[in-house]
Structure 1
Amino acid sequence: MTDRPQPGKRITIRDVAKSAGVSYQTVSRALNDKGEIDTSTKQRVLDTARRLGYRPSRFARGLVRQDSTSVGLVIPNLLNPYFTEVAAGALAAARRRDWHVVVYDTAEDEEQELSTLAVLGSQVDAVVGYFSQPGPVIDQYTSGMPVVQIGRTDVAGRFGEIRVDGEQGVHAAIAHLAASGRRRIGMLDHDHHGEASVRYSWYADAMREHGLPTFVTPAAQSIEGGQRAMAAMLEKHPDLDAIFTYNDVIAIGAMFQARLLGRRVPADFAVIGFDGLAIGTMVEPPLSSVRIDTRRVGAIAIDQVGQLLDGVKPEVATVRATFLLRGSA
């Protein structure tokens, strides 16, 4: 239908009213099941709302300001401080707009993610987050709703997109290790269904640049996961003199374990993480890392929601990581 608002634009009561040929007060009465409207008109309004993909926000209706915008922020794991920092950036940006953010934790579970997506449509006006589901599935659950995906490249055409590019940062980290005489540099990678991460590909490319061999062990994304993976790695390759990890949480566990096994950090064993989190300053020695501006990621996501609500498809945003040298390398 030619009267349907363009994809990505927030569909309003006025859009439904225009398409159904009634006043927006009539649409409000129909959607709220008021009695002052005849049955055929009510059905026409409901059919039109369904066709256009209009989704009233339960949260917004319950707030003092009826025009307030609510955003659902979907993250895989609140216990991972990376996502907490991104959420803090999004919350700060939303406050500046007087918007409301509702945080959903999917616990890195695909079924929970689907369940969250099923709920989102009737609760918020836009969705931001980290998803494992393919684009068509997300599109099906969020038809017409503004969506911003973070950290993916296979993003559906109507969605906003934020990419994290750590290639140069990882290359700088490996170059630092090589320049300081490290030659046996391993990686603890995120174990995701047996597939190597893109961060592993950056590490492997950087190692090839310096003519160095690669060593990889999978690790769960936790301090305990880092400890277990570091123990396994050093048992298999006791001559390693440095480790690069998928994220800072794994790196902290790796550093604890390396020291338990008698390695001096950084004197004879260097540790570099990825994310550049504030928690890295709370360990001794402070953790070197490939740093992402996490607050900026959250702020960009909210800015892209604003563009989508205005009917503008935002350009792909890329946040580039840099090497942050602290005491562990």
Structure 2
Amino acid sequence: MKRATINDVASAAGVSRQTVSRALNDKGEIDGATKQRVLDAARELGYRPSRFARGLVRPDTTTIGLVVPDLLNPFFTEVAAAALEAARSRGWHVVVHATADSAEEERGTLKVIGSQVDAVVGYFTLAETELDRHTRGMPVVLIGRDANAGRFSSIVIDGRQGVRAAVDHLVAAGHRHIGMLDHANRAGPSERHAWFCEAMAAHGLTTAVTGAQQSVDGGTEALTTLLDAHPGLTAVFTFNDIIAIGALRSARRRGLKVPDDLAVVGFDGLQLGTVVDPALTSVALDTKRIGALAVEQAARLLDGEQPLLGDELVVTAALTVRESA
């Protein structure tokens, strides 16, 4: 598909190029009805103002915006490194922004990069209608979330079977009292929490869950809270590996041996998990594939090629057994 031009928008809206420019730049010289007609035409055609005409970059340069919640979390650092490598192989530039897992920061980031990049890939919590307003006409690849709007693409993370394998592994080792440290900043229970509850129910087991902040300290504090409330727990599954590493520290402080007294299973499969003691058992994701896949999909959308579809966009997690469980 050929990218729409300002002339296409002007023709569709029945106005001049100058009127299109005024409408898109929110100038006050046109009436509201005309402005809305131009905006509707631009959205319908998928038009975005050229960065090149503004002298922001050379016309032969492609730049994508990579948005992640937290670069201090090694998982997102690994994904970002993979995306940078994939973009570099194409001669592309990448602008990286971290949003602190905040919807308000997401809005601010999109306002900043909206005129600086050709496509956006990353992690967002904003509703798709709001994402559409900020990225009008721009290819957008969402990571770790299903897209309902047809113009967005999604890299889907499927951890259901990996979490089921983790619970099966714990049950086979004799554990019946298994807790979870979930993501504390979500509006409700996470998808990983749902996978965990489903796996526990398959064994006729009930769950004990405590929210944890996304840090080693958060995992340390959350496991203390969980064990104080449920001292009979012998195993814990965590939302991610960073929380799990905090749980390992908390267990040591309580005088618990891992995995003899308490088994710990994380989620992400970070390289960092191989250097902690004991080495972390985790439901692992291929971070290199996530980053590379996001860039490949953005390239296809920018080039007007047939995008990847269905299972091609699914990254499946699998249990990696090490020493902690």
| 1:46 matches 2:21 | yes
In the TM superposition, residue 170 of structure 1 has moved relative to its aligned partner by 0.4
The residue number in structure 1 matching 2:90 is: 97
Per-residue displacement from partner, 1:130-189 (whole Å, max 9, x unpaired)?
111100100011110110011112442101111100000000011111101111110000
- Cα RMSD of the aligned pairs, angstroms, is 2.3
| 1:191 matches 2:151 | no
**Whole-angstrom distance in 1 between the partners of 2:259 and 2:252:** 10
Q: 1:54/1:133 Cα in 2 relative to 1: closer, same or farther (>3 Å)?
A: same
- Picking from 56, 66, 80, the partner of 1:87 is 80
- Picking from 310, 321, 328, the partner of 2:317 is 321
Q: What amino acid is the match of 1:223?
A: V
- Picking from 170, 192, 199, the partner of 1:177 is 170
| 1:304 matches 2:297 | yes
Query: Are the aligned partners of 2:182 and 2:210 in contact in 1 as well (CA < 8 Å)?
Result: yes
Query: Are the aligned partners of 1:19 and 1:48 in contact in 2 as well (CA < 8 Å)?
Result: no
**More displaced, 70-79 or 187-196?**
187-196
| 1:261 matches 2:254 | yes
The residue number in structure 2 matching 1:110 is: 103
In the TM superposition, residue 117 of structure 1 has moved relative to its aligned partner by 1.1
Query: Are the aligned partners of 2:266 and 2:281 in contact in 1 as well (CA < 8 Å)?
Result: yes
- Picking from 149, 164, 179, the partner of 2:157 is 164
3-state SS, counterpart of residue 136 of structure 2: coil
**Whole-angstrom distance in 1 between the partners of 2:134 and 2:23:** 18
**Whole-angstrom distance in 1 between the partners of 2:88 and 2:65:** 14
| 1:223 matches 2:223 | no
In the TM superposition, residue 287 of structure 1 has moved relative to its aligned partner by 0.5
Structural mapping, 1:133-148, within 5 Å = 133-148=126-141
**Whole-angstrom distance in 2 between the partners of 1:42 and 1:60:** 15
The residue number in structure 1 matching 2:30 is: none
Q: 1:142/1:181 Cα in 2 relative to 1: closer, same or farther (>3 Å)?
A: same
Q: What amino acid is the match of 1:326?
A: R
Q: What amino acid is the match of 2:318?
A: T
Q: 1:48/1:261 Cα in 2 relative to 1: closer, same or farther (>3 Å)?
A: closer
In the TM superposition, residue 310 of structure 1 has moved relative to its aligned partner by 1.9
**More displaced, 299-308 or 40-49?**
40-49
**Whole-angstrom distance in 2 between the partners of 1:58 and 1:119:** 17
Query: Are the aligned partners of 1:248 and 1:274 in contact in 2 as well (CA < 8 Å)?
Result: yes
What is the TM-score of this pair, normalised by structure 2? Answer: 0.86
The residue number in structure 2 matching 1:280 is: 273
**Whole-angstrom distance in 2 between the partners of 1:307 and 1:221:** 33
**Whole-angstrom distance in 2 between the partners of 1:251 and 1:207:** 19
**Whole-angstrom distance in 2 between the partners of 1:126 and 1:134:** 18
**Whole-angstrom distance in 2 between the partners of 1:42 and 1:215:** 61
Query: Are the aligned partners of 1:58 and 1:122 in contact in 2 as well (CA < 8 Å)?
Result: no
The residue number in structure 2 matching 1:16 is: 6
**Unaligned 5+ runs, structure 2:** 26-37
What is the aligned-residue identity percentage?
50
3-state SS, counterpart of residue 143 of structure 1: coil
In the TM superposition, residue 129 of structure 1 has moved relative to its aligned partner by 0.8
**Whole-angstrom distance in 2 between the partners of 1:59 and 1:87:** 29
In the TM superposition, residue 314 of structure 1 has moved relative to its aligned partner by 3.6
Q: 1:17/1:226 Cα in 2 relative to 1: closer, same or farther (>3 Å)?
A: same
User: Which protein, 1 or 2, shows the higher relative CO under an 8 Å CA cutoff with sep ≥ 6?
Assistant: 1
3-state SS, counterpart of residue 285 of structure 1: coil
Q: How many residues align?
A: 300
Q: What amino acid is the match of 2:279?
A: P
**Whole-angstrom distance in 2 between the partners of 1:320 and 1:75:** 20
Q: What amino acid is the match of 1:267?
A: D
In the TM superposition, residue 313 of structure 1 has moved relative to its aligned partner by 4.3
Q: 1:10/1:254 Cα in 2 relative to 1: closer, same or farther (>3 Å)?
A: farther
The residue number in structure 2 matching 1:30 is: none
What is the TM-score of this pair, normalised by structure 1? Answer: 0.85
**Whole-angstrom distance in 1 between the partners of 2:205 and 2:8:** 65
In the TM superposition, residue 48 of structure 1 has moved relative to its aligned partner by 9.2
Q: What amino acid is the match of 1:215?
A: A
In the TM superposition, residue 61 of structure 1 has moved relative to its aligned partner by 4.7
In the TM superposition, residue 193 of structure 1 has moved relative to its aligned partner by 4.4
Q: 1:208/1:59 Cα in 2 relative to 1: closer, same or farther (>3 Å)?
A: farther
